[in-house]
Structure 1
Amino acid sequence: MSTSTDVAKARRARWVEYLVLIVVAVVVAGVVRTFLVQTFYIPSASMEQTLDLDDKVLVNKTAYWFSPPGRGEIVVFAPPVEWSAAPGQNYIKRIIGVAGDHVICCDRNQKITVNGQPLDEDYLFPGDAPSDKTFDVTVGAGRVFVLGDHRSASGDSREHLDAANGTVPEDRLVGRAFVIFWPPSRARSLAVPATFADVPEPR
């Protein structure tokens, strides 16, 4: 026969268990967010039409622990200090060139080329040209060249060509955006466009 003291002890034990579970859940969530996967929302139009204003994406923060960044991937990064961004601000752009790549705008058909291969950029915002600025950049070791998909509304590598050719150090990359998860009507994975498969390795 249980006494009131036994019942009180059982209730306290359950509350302690619940508290421990909550603490563990918070710690696990913190570890995941810090080291593995983090959510980001899109605060500007610079990646339309791929990413709309206020879309929310998941970013794999381990993506570049064991392999280098790849052309065509969408990345979140802390801008170089030369970009004079607000403290703590992150950018999200598409990698166009990786270490060693020769990136030029534009060829006679008004396309950006990477290592001589023209890019068919069907992901660009409707009506946008590949760039309103010309450039001829060889990406340095351990760096990437990034552009927004809405070129006429994007502050990207083109705006900072006087600082390391506008490239971003790989150690400034937070991770790779791999899926839109909100709003549900726009949920989808963020695959690398097929045009990047035709880009040859740098000579």
Structure 2
Amino acid sequence: MEGPGDSAGARDEPGASGGAEGAAEDTGEGAGKNTKSGNPLLLWLKEIATVVVIAVVLSFLIKTFLFRAFYIPSESMVNTLDINDRIFINLLVPEPFALQRGDVVVFRDAQGWLPAAAQKPAGPFTWVQDGLEFVGLLPDDSEQHLVKRVVGLPGDRVSCCDASGRVSVNGVPLDESYVNPAEIPSPMSFDVVVPAGKVWVMGDNRNHSADSRLHQQVNGGFVNISDVEGKATVIAWPVNRWNVLDNHPDVFRNVPAGAAAGSDGK
């Protein structure tokens, strides 16, 4: 998860045939010296090294300011995301661009939702993997991040369930087309108002997602916007899964603004 002077000096002047001839002789002699002194293998290696350095620098800058790669270790977002999918997230969300309802986001596990990560086994090439992750050439596999869908923004009242088992936002029941169609979500009652600076998140695979609903004893189940790394934008791998991720604006089209939505809200 950037010499015009020489050319003018070599220009032929009208009527100065001797000067032009001398320039031609000098150029030929210089070319011959370069051919004799240059080692093709060293020149090739130098070019390869230059390309590699440029690629690493660009990748680091992209990973730092624009996009970052992650892999999906669980089934909590099926069918939107499958286990072992590789995704790119947009680091310009939530700042300078605000989150929207329906966004799929990756966030740091600052609330302890996940068990402590096991230490990576040491190996002869561990440092290589760590280095490639650092510059963004490999996806982050630390497993201390989570990926969920934003359902409630600051000021939103999110509740479940109506007579049809649907989640409601600000009194409007949602027809959530992104929820895994293979299973009917088990009813789980809740009724919360999202505080400023936080969001309410849920997995698309509701029966297999330990999301805001199951962590209300810690921070009310809310995720701090400051912990959001970015918005998931595309599935990059495997090739047969290439896809741009949708935030399904049609699902939330009729939802009014939350009572206390401000600069952190919609």
Same fold (TM over 0.5): yes
The CA deviation string for residues 108-148 of structure 1, in whole angstroms up to 9 with x for no partner, is 22110000011101221125344532111100101010000
Query: What is the RMSD of the two structures over their aligned residues, measured on CA atoms?
Result: 2.1
Number of matched residues?
A: 202
Greater displacement, 91-100 / 117-126: 117-126
TM-score normalized with structure 1 length: 0.90
Which residue of the partner structure matches residue 252 of structure 2? Answer: 196
Which residue of the partner structure matches residue 6 of structure 1? Answer: 37
8 Å CA contact 1:41–1:54 kept in 2: the answer is yes
Give the drift of 1:12: 4.2
8 Å CA contact 1:132–1:152 kept in 2: the answer is no
One-letter amino acid of the counterpart of residue 7, structure 1 = G
Give the drift of 1:14: 5.0
One-letter amino acid of the counterpart of residue 80, structure 1 = A
- Pick the aligned partner of 1:111 from 149, 161, 166: 166
8 Å CA contact 2:152–2:158 kept in 1: the answer is yes
The CA deviation string for residues 170-189 of structure 1, in whole angstroms up to 9 with x for no partner, is 01111101111222222221
SS of the aligned residue for 1:198 comes to coil
**How does 1:118-129 map onto structure 2 within 5 Å?**
118-129=173-184
1:33–1:108 Cα change, 3 Å: same
In structure 2, what is the Cα distance between the partners aligned to 1:52 and 1:35?
A: 26
Which residue of the partner structure matches residue 20 of structure 1? Answer: 50
1:67–1:4 Cα change, 3 Å: closer
In structure 2, what is the Cα distance between the partners aligned to 1:25 and 1:3?
A: 28
1:66–1:133 Cα change, 3 Å: same
8 Å CA contact 1:41–1:56 kept in 2: the answer is yes
SS of the aligned residue for 1:158 comes to helix
1:115–1:3 Cα change, 3 Å: closer
Give the drift of 1:31: 1.8
- Extract unaligned runs of 5+ from structure 1: none
* Greater Rg by CA: 2
- Pick the aligned partner of 1:186 from 241, 247, 258: 241
One-letter amino acid of the counterpart of residue 75, structure 1 = V
Which residue of the partner structure matches residue 65 of structure 2? Answer: 35
In structure 1, what is the Cα distance between the partners aligned to 2:146 and 2:254?
A: 27
Give the drift of 1:3: 7.4
The CA deviation string for residues 60-93 of structure 1, in whole angstroms up to 9 with x for no partner, is 1112221221100100111223425435511011
SS of the aligned residue for 2:70 comes to strand
Q: 1:132 and 2:187 equivalent?
A: yes
8 Å CA contact 2:87–2:236 kept in 1: the answer is yes
SS of the aligned residue for 2:95 comes to coil
The CA deviation string for residues 37-79 of structure 1, in whole angstroms up to 9 with x for no partner, is 1122211110011111122211111122212211001001112
Q: Which runs of 4+ in 1 moved over 4 A?
A: 10-14
Which residue of the partner structure matches residue 53 of structure 1? Answer: 83
Which residue of the partner structure matches residue 211 of structure 2? Answer: 156
The CA deviation string for residues 17-48 of structure 1, in whole angstroms up to 9 with x for no partner, is 43233212111111212321112221111001
In structure 1, what is the Cα distance between the partners aligned to 2:34 and 2:208?
A: 71
Give the drift of 1:164: 2.4
One-letter amino acid of the counterpart of residue 77, structure 1 = F
